[in-house]
Structure 1
Amino acid sequence: MSDVEILDQNLRPHQTYLDGLAAGTLLYQRCGTCGAAVFYPRVACNVCGSVDLAFQPSAGEGTVYSNTAVASAGGPAYSVCIVELDEGFRMMSSVVGLPAEDVPIGLRVVGQFETSDDAAPRLVFAPREAI
């Protein structure tokens, strides 16, 4: 594939990512030059600068890398976390199924989609044992 074809394929990486979410699939990119897992979608590899990026589906399994319990006025605290996916990239999300303050670093989690009528699907994570 030529650089022009690759670049044309990647001109709208954000839209490709959103289309994947709408279809119930978490997509990330893999660099064909250096092999890096690239997330959030972009037009060039953040490791080597190559435009040879290809979208791949993630299994949606990973490990909690960090977690913060955010207090909410009038409601329970909610989790804001970084999950390190098994494919080698990290993403921000939240952990559901546990009180936010009880989410341990190193917890194995599995992604699941939350949907609502007025918003795009959102990927959250649940403890692997609970699935």
Structure 2
Amino acid sequence: MRGKRDIERELIHAEAKIESLQTLLESAQTDRQELKSQVTKLQDALVAARAPEAYRDQQIAKEEENRTPRDQAQIDKNRLIQKTTEGYMHALERPMDVDDLDALLARSSMHDIKGPPSLHGNDES
């Protein structure tokens, strides 16, 4: 009888220890997730501090990935619009002459659209 009681006590003690370890494991997993989240935030902050434009581009890429899936044609169109807009914005940072404007139009999706003849300085019509 005494051996049976000792075994039952050991069993109860072992079960309590298992529950305690499971609680510790769950707590450690939660802490791990929180640490991963903090590391990600710190990495984002580091990238933002080192290169704000790169950080912005990275955030835009993340947002695009999280959006609902679209067909490839729409994705290509959006990339072309973004590239054209970026080229235009960079070109606005300095004075543009006619050659710069022609080069910008050639890179854009509007290169087939003819502007008024006075825009190019000659009569092509």
Q: TM-score range by the shorter chain?
A: under 0.3
Q: TM-score, normalised by structure 1?
A: 0.20
Bigger strand share = 1
Select the structure of larger CA radius of gyration. 2
| Structure showing greater relative contact order (alpha-carbon pairs closer than 8 Å, 6 or more residues apart) | 1
Q: Which protein is richer in helix relative to its size?
A: 2
